[in-house]
């Protein structure tokens, strides 16, 4: 038990569910429709209790982000967040942790943003980050991000993003890519690229089989081709437009895995993204989960036969130390470890994979002791193949250009010129070993 506690954390991210209620009804939401209709609110007293536990915990490091997510945070009044921030800062001082680098974050659908919210974010801009969910231009966004009445939400989201920009507030954009969006890489990239001066970052997520209500991952030849072409087209379009300060985090992380020195690569490997107690999700009632941001007790409720999903305890009734040393956490950790060992043993793409597929394995294959899932084939392997092929094409083109440039400079006209040069070939095996 002691050994388990030593290998936890440090806690870097706490995701708080202020309320499960949402003003939208997106077709791929990870929360059940039933919970999204609940208007429960995390009480102020629970917030205080959580941070009394966290700030005096042995698992806390030097940096912490507190994020409100899982339900639309802006349905709660501004005063709620003013009190929460004030409380959290006061508890930090009381616990003697003023040295802690603490940031706050809200993930919003942007529909309810107005002048008052912008004023709030301006006031707290030094400590508060904003994330906005938008799936692209209207024709793509409005396929799945619908109002409760089934209407489109894009116009309201655009208005919200425009208000943030008018107040000089940058936001991180997140898009969910569905099977239908895969046919529109250029429209998507052009749309997000057009926001480059307004945003602090951008990344996309493929819709997960785990939460999709209809099967979206078939992994037949058609789906593999769609995913492969989608990534290749995004990269080509990005090169045509010129990045101009616009970065796609999915690509940047891949290149970092390939080329960055080891110390800069940490935090994004399969094992690290599923490490216990780095992220704590705490729902409106105080139920705690760990491993992945946004994993709530709603997801795969009966996986351990008790309706608690991957829940590891309740911070309303237990201390963080009790939760950390629980048999429940030990059991889930050992299941996740089994999954990671299978990846290391069986999968040649493991060095390029960010992991996080434990739940999909258990749900789709019935065991944690498994490697490849349909999601792996499309989201990791096909993505990596497309990235590597793009890199090879890019390097071969540049090599040809460089060769003809050299030839022109030296005045050579045959044997060593562009026509006689072999384009550089990339040894993927070597690159994977390097990564
Ligand atoms: S692609 Fe799948 S099997 Fe391979 S390392 Fe990632 S999760 Fe494991």
With respect to residue 183, please indicate whether it lies within any of the assigned structural domains.
Answer: yes
According to the model, what pLDDT value does residue 265 have? 63
| Mean pLDDT value across residues 352-372 | 92
Q: Is 70 in the pocket of ligand 1 (CB under 6 A)?
A: no
Give the count of alpha carbons within 13 A of 63, CB side only. Answer: 2
Name the closest-CA residue to atom 5, ligand 1: 350
Most confident of 84-93, 295-304, 425-434: 84-93
Most confident of 148-157, 209-218, 389-398: 148-157
Distance 85 CA to ligand 1 centre (A): 39
Distance 4 CA to ligand 1 centre (A): 25
Distance 351 CA to ligand 1 centre (A): 9
**Which positions ≥6 away from 390 have C-beta within 8 Å?**
231, 232, 235, 236
What are 218-276's pLDDT values in tens digits?
Answer: 778 889 999 999 999 999 999 999 888 899 999 999 988 888 777 666 556 666 677 89
According to the model, what pLDDT value does residue 121 have? 98
With respect to residue 379, please indicate whether it lies within any of the assigned structural domains.
Answer: no
Which residues on adjacent β-strands are paired with residue 68? Answer: 16, 106
According to the model, what pLDDT value does residue 27 have? 84
What are 215-230's pLDDT values in tens digits?
Answer: 666 778 889 999 999 9
Distance 147 CA to ligand 1 centre (A): 36
Q: Is residue 392 classed exposed, middle or buried when 0-12, 13-18 and 19+ CB atoms within 10 A define those classes?
A: middle
Distance 64 CA to ligand 1 centre (A): 28
User: What is the DSSP code string of 216-237?
Assistant: ----SHHHHHHHHHHHHHHHHH
Q: pLDDT at residue 402 above 90? A: no
**Which positions ≥6 away from 90 have C-beta within 8 Å?**
none
Name the closest-CA residue to atom 8, ligand 1: 343
With respect to residue 410, please indicate whether it lies within any of the assigned structural domains.
Answer: no
Asked which of 52-66, 287-301, 417-431 is least confident by mean pLDDT, the reply is 417-431
Q: Is 350 in the pocket of ligand 1 (CB under 6 A)?
A: yes
CA–CA dist 321, 432 (Å, integer) = 39
Distance 66 CA to ligand 1 centre (A): 29
Question: Tell me, what CATH number does 177's domain have?
Answer: 3.20.20.70
Cα dihedral 136/137/141/146 (nearest 10): 140
With respect to residue 300, please indicate whether it lies within any of the assigned structural domains.
Answer: no
Q: pLDDT at residue 107 above 80? A: yes
With respect to residue 416, please indicate whether it lies within any of the assigned structural domains.
Answer: no
Name the closest-CA residue to atom 1, ligand 1: 376
Q: Is 355 in the pocket of ligand 1 (CB under 6 A)?
A: yes
**Which positions ≥6 away from 14 have C-beta within 8 Å?**
50, 54, 64, 65, 66, 67, 279, 280, 281, 282
According to the model, what pLDDT value does residue 9 have? 85
Looking at the whole model, is its pTM more than 0.85? yes
List the one residue out of 42, 5, 410, 381 whose CA is nearest residue 217.
Answer: 381
Domain count, the chain: 1
Q: Is 157 in the pocket of ligand 1 (CB under 6 A)?
A: no
Closest ligand 1 atom, CA of 354?
6
With respect to residue 350, please indicate whether it lies within any of the assigned structural domains.
Answer: no
| Segments of 164-207 assigned E as strands | 171-177, 199-206
Query: Would you state the structure tokens that stand for residue 360, as one six-digit string?
Result: 């999909």
Which residues on adjacent β-strands are paired with residue 65? Answer: 13, 103
According to the model, what pLDDT value does residue 404 have? 55
Q: Is 347 in the pocket of ligand 1 (CB under 6 A)?
A: yes
With respect to residue 123, please indicate whether it lies within any of the assigned structural domains.
Answer: yes
Average pLDDT of the chain to the nearest whole number: 87
With respect to residue 208, please indicate whether it lies within any of the assigned structural domains.
Answer: yes
Distances (CA, A) of 421 to 255, 291, 335, 425, 426: 27, 50, 52, 12, 15
Q: Residue-wise over 17-55: b if at least 16 C-beta within 10 A, else e?
A: bbbbbbbbbbebbebeeebbeeeebbeeebbbbbbbbbb
Distance 385 CA to ligand 1 centre (A): 14
Q: Where are the alpha helices (DSSP H) in 245-319?
A: 249-259, 262-265, 270-273
Phi, psi of 16 (to 5 degrees): -100, 135
Query: Mutate which of 344, 349, 362, 387 to test ligand 1's pocket (most atoms within 8 Å of Cβ)?
Result: 349
Q: Is 357 in the pocket of ligand 1 (CB under 6 A)?
A: yes
Containing structural domain, residue 177? 2-279
Distance 307 CA to ligand 1 centre (A): 28
Distance 409 CA to ligand 1 centre (A): 47
Report yes or no: 223 and 378 within 8 Å, Cβ to Cβ. yes
Name the closest-CA residue to atom 2, ligand 1: 376
DSSP secondary structure letter of residue 113: -
């Amino acid at each position: 038990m002691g050994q388990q506690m030593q290998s936890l954390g440090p806690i870097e991210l706490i995701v708080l569910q202020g309320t499960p209620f949402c003003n939208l009804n997106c077709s791929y939401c990870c929360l059940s429709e039933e919970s999204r209709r609940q208007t429960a609110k995390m009480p102020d007293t629970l917030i205080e209790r959580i941070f009394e536990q966290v700030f005096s915990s042995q698992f806390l490091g030097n940096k912490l982000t507190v994020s409100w997510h899982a339900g639309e945070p802006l349905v709660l009044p501004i005063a709620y967040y003013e009190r929460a921030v004030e409380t959290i800062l006061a508890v930090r001082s009381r616990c003697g942790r003023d040295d802690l680098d603490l940031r706050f974050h809200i993930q919003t659908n942007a529909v309810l943003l107005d002048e008052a919210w912008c004023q709030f974010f301006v006031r707290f801009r030094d400590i508060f980050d904003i994330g906005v969910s938008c799936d692209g231009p209207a024709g793509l966004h409005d396929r799945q991000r619908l109002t409760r009445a089934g209407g489109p939400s894009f116009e309201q989201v655009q208005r919200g993003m425009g208000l943030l920009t008018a107040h000089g507030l940058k936001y991180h954009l997140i898009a969910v890519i569905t099977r239908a969006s895969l046919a529109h890489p250029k429209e998507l990239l052009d749309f997000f690229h057009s926001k480059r001066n307004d945003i602090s970052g951008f990344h996309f997520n493929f819709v997960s089989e785990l939460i999709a209500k209809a099967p979206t991952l078939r992994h037949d030849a058609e789906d593999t081709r769609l995913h492969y072409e989608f990534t290749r087209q995004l990269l080509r379009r990005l090169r045509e437009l010129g990045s101009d300060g616009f970065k796609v985090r999915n690509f940047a992380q891949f290149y970092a895995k390939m080329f960055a020195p080891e110390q800069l690569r940490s935090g994004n490997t399969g094992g690290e993204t599923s490490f216990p107690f780095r992220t704590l999700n705490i729902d409106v009632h105080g139920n705690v989960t760990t491993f992945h941001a946004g994993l709530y007790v709603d997801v795969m409720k009966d996986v351990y036969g008790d309706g608690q999903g991957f829940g590891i305890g309740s911070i309303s009734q237990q201390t963080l130390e009790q939760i950390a040393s629980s048999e429940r956490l030990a059991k889930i950790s050992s299941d996740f470890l089994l999954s990671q060992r299978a990846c290391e043993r069986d999968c040649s793409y493991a060095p390029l994979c960010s992991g996080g597929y434990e739940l999909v394995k258990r749900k789709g294959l019935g065991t944690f002791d498994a490697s490849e899932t349909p999601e792996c084939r499309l989201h990791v392997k096909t993505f990596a193949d497309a990235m590597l092929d793009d890199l090879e094409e890019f390097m071969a083109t540049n090599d040809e250009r460089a060769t003809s440039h050299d030839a022109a400079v030296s005045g050579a006209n045959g044997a060593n010129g562009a026509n006689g040069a072999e384009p550089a070939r990339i040894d993927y095996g070597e690159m994977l070993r390097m990564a």
